[in-house]
Amino acid sequence: MTEPIESALNSLSPIQRTTAEWGDGAALVLAGPGAGKTRVLTTRIAKLLDDTPDKKFRVLALTFTTKAANEMRERVEFLIPGVSERRTFIGTFHAFCTQILRQHGSHIGISPDFGIFGQKEDQEALLRDALQSEIEDGKDFSLTDICLLPSIRELRSRLVTPEKAYLKNGNQHQKAVYELYEQTLKTQNALDFEGLILESCRLLHQVPAVAARLRQTYPFWMIDEFQDTTPAQYFLLHYLSGGTFKNVFVVADDDQIIYQWAGASYQQILKFKKDYDPEFIQLVENHRCPPEIVTMANQLVGNNKQRSPERKPTLASRTTPLNAAIFTQFETDDLEKASIAQSIADLGEENWGKVAILGRTRHLLEPYLEALKACSVKASMSQRRDNFVSPHFVWLHALLDQAIRPTNRRLFEILTNAANRICKLELDPALLAVEADALGMNHYEHWANIAITSSSVLAQKLGEMANKLARSRITWKKIVDEAIPLLIENANGDEGLSDADEDLIAWNMILKEIRSETGGLPDLPDVVQGIALRSKEPPREPNTVVLMTIHTAKGLEFEYVYFIGLVEGEMPSWQSCRTGDDSREMEEERRNCFVAITRTQEKLHLSAAKSYKNRNKELSRFLKEMSIGDGDC
């Protein structure tokens, strides 16, 4: 056993070590906040690999965010350098499905270089163009049928095909629009996020030999945050396991199910118990939060009924600090905002990067940016950024994507408009597309030829790069390395980082993650698909306070947490208040509150105001459940 792995095992508590050394068979590990589940998971992966140096099998570890996957991958690499890239897949469900479909999707007619339509606007544009074409052909459609897209996505997320949907609701028109959307995706050689799971399930169901091969390749499965699995993801596991494979090790916390709206449910944990008959393990020690907060969290979540009946209360492993939680009620939301901003300013700039302000919704958090700015405190709102911001990286991303999907008109429009902004051109993408069709050329090749003949030196260089990529997709790395310095030089940033500078940081992070996931230099489809699956948000600047919704903060931890807006109608939300005390919605809101307070390592500031936007509010019922009243805790 290597020294890093031995050291990692010795640093674990007895129950953590027993869990990390788990061998074959199904296991359900209930692990609350701060229980060290990531250490346990990564140590188990490293030990499995270290114990079998002469084997070629791979370990499969699935989680729900690329950030969590990256952290796990880095920890495993530290424990057993040079092995994890070759012998693991550590990534999200969607990333794993992307890999499955690239390698085996041809069995059901999916080309390995498919694009991914992850954004709502891309999917709407796809359906709009398809509807327009059908309308021009005299078919019984209308552009207002785009309003059916959310329902179609919901059906796809539940693995419901057009035929099944029609049998269930008898809506012939919805079936026709759904079929048109699905066929257009195929024509464009593309999948949406829902389609990655749906088509993987279809493949594994129709071609069980693929599932058998994957079980042979990956004899050990680990799933983090299992409580967040959707029914579709659970079906994916079912088809993968073939009803017989039981070597599945899952880590879950039924007190942190906060994605019911996306399909997460306590029922998935019950199904796993029934289908896999797992060994039940509990990691009950909280190594993160002060004891006072652990007590508050136990009191709060103990009011929920949708929990494992055998679950034990969380135990605090720490003894300090004392007086870790403070509650203050303000007269107005303006006073709450101003007081918290000043409190954070008083911490000193060296501590601002250790601070998070958490709120139930963005609308509560957004005013705090101005309040913090008024106190000269650097702050940023954390949010998933699905697209690059600068036209420079929008163009580069669109160029790579166009090389794979040269007939996609929306991509061509994005590429042309971004180049217009960069090079001060006025090219009409619709006119260029018509000209390209008449000439029998790919749209972006025609754009490249026009750009090369323009008066703009920058446009000429970008056009030459596009032509090189059109001739050979394997040159993508050389072209990107050539394009980025040119684009950054052209970007006119104001003080501090420009949008292009921020996009470059995000670009480099994404490419590093893709290389780690693929175990070497990725090919162009790997890059395009990997970019589509990841947020383009750059890392925070140092000494910056972060503002987050609870859903964004899940899985993170901070020394100082300010949890705002603890009033009825905000936390819990007014929707859950309408459904009643015993509703599943109220239980989820209680879990949201539980997640928020357990992000704390040192100090928790809870706050509420008597009025928000001049409307009187009652204190949150959750304060009483945590044994908190007016004034300090």
When pLDDT is averaged across residues 38-60 and rounded to a whole number, the result is 94
Which pLDDT value is given to residue 207?
97
Q: Which residues are bridge partners to 280 per DSSP? A: 28
Could you tell me which residues come within 8 angstroms of residue 312 by beta carbon, excluding any fewer than 6 positions away?
Answer: 282, 284
Is residue 379 within 8 A of residue 391, CB to CB? The reply is: no
Which pLDDT value is given to residue 405?
86
Cα–Cα–Cα angle for 465, 466, 471, rounded to 5 degrees: 100
Could you tell me which residues come within 8 angstroms of residue 249 by beta carbon, excluding any fewer than 6 positions away?
Answer: 22, 26, 27, 29, 44, 220, 221, 222, 223
> Alpha helix locations (H) across 11-65?
14-20, 37-50
Pick the more confident residue, 236 or 406.
236
> Alpha helix locations (H) across 329-475?
333-347, 349-352, 362-365, 367-374, 391-404, 409-423, 429-439, 443-452, 457-471
Which pLDDT value is given to residue 492?
65
Residue (of 184, 291, 145, 299) closest to 627 by Cα position: 299
- Strand, coil or helix: what is 402? helix
Which pLDDT value is given to residue 494?
45
Largest Cα–Cα separation, the chain:
76
Which tokens hold the place of 537? 């948000």
Cα–Cα–Cα angle for 31, 35, 38, rounded to 5 degrees: 85
Please state, for a pLDDT cut of 90, what percent of the chain lies above it: 79
Which pLDDT value is given to residue 36?
94
Which pLDDT value is given to residue 632?
40
Q: What is the pLDDT of residues 517-544, one digit of tens each?
A: 887 789 999 999 999 999 898 888 899 9
Instruction: Say if strands 615-616 and 611-612 run parallel, antiparallel, or are unpaired.
Output: antiparallel
Which pLDDT value is given to residue 633?
35
SS3 track for 272-295: HHHHHCCEEEEECEECCCCHHHHH
When pLDDT is averaged across residues 560-579 and rounded to a whole number, the result is 95
- Strand, coil or helix: what is 423? helix
Q: What is the pLDDT of residues 189-233, one digit of tens each?
A: 899 999 999 999 999 999 999 999 999 999 999 999 999 999 999
Which pLDDT value is given to residue 631?
40
Q: What is the pLDDT of residues 575-631, one digit of tens each?
A: 999 998 889 999 999 999 999 999 999 999 999 999 999 999 999 999 999 998 644
| pLDDT band at 497; cut points 50, 70, 90 | low
242 Rama sector, left if φ>0, alpha if ψ -120 to 50, beta otherwise: left
Chain mean position to CA 467: 34
Q: What is the pLDDT of residues 368-392, one digit of tens each?
A: 999 999 999 999 999 888 899 999 9
Tell me the helix, strand and coil percentages in the chain, rounded to 5.
Answer: 55, 15, 30
Q: What is the pLDDT of residues 104-159, one digit of tens each?
A: 999 999 999 999 988 888 899 899 999 999 999 999 999 999 999 999 999 999 99
Please list, residue by residue across 146-168, b when 16 or more beta carbons sit within 10 angstroms of its beta carbon and e when fewer do. bebbeebbebbbbbbbbeebbee
How many other CB atoms are there within 10 angstroms of residue 559's CB atom? Answer: 14
Which pLDDT value is given to residue 84?
80
Helix axes 266-276, 231-241, angle to 10 degrees: 10
When pLDDT is averaged across residues 58-84 and rounded to a whole number, the result is 91
pTM score, whole prediction: 0.91
> What's the chain's Rg over C-alpha atoms?
26
Q: What is the pLDDT of residues 333-356, one digit of tens each?
A: 999 999 999 999 999 999 999 999
When pLDDT is averaged across residues 11-38 and rounded to a whole number, the result is 94
Which tokens hold the place of 522? 């990725």
φ, ψ (nearest 5 deg) of residue 63: -140, -170
Which pLDDT value is given to residue 493?
53
Pick the more confident residue, 469 or 495.
469
Cα–Cα–Cα angle for 558, 564, 567, rounded to 5 degrees: 140
Mean pLDDT computed over every residue of the chain = 92
Q: Residue 551: which H helix or E strand, with range?
A: helix 550-553
How many other CB atoms are there within 10 angstroms of residue 491's CB atom? Answer: 18
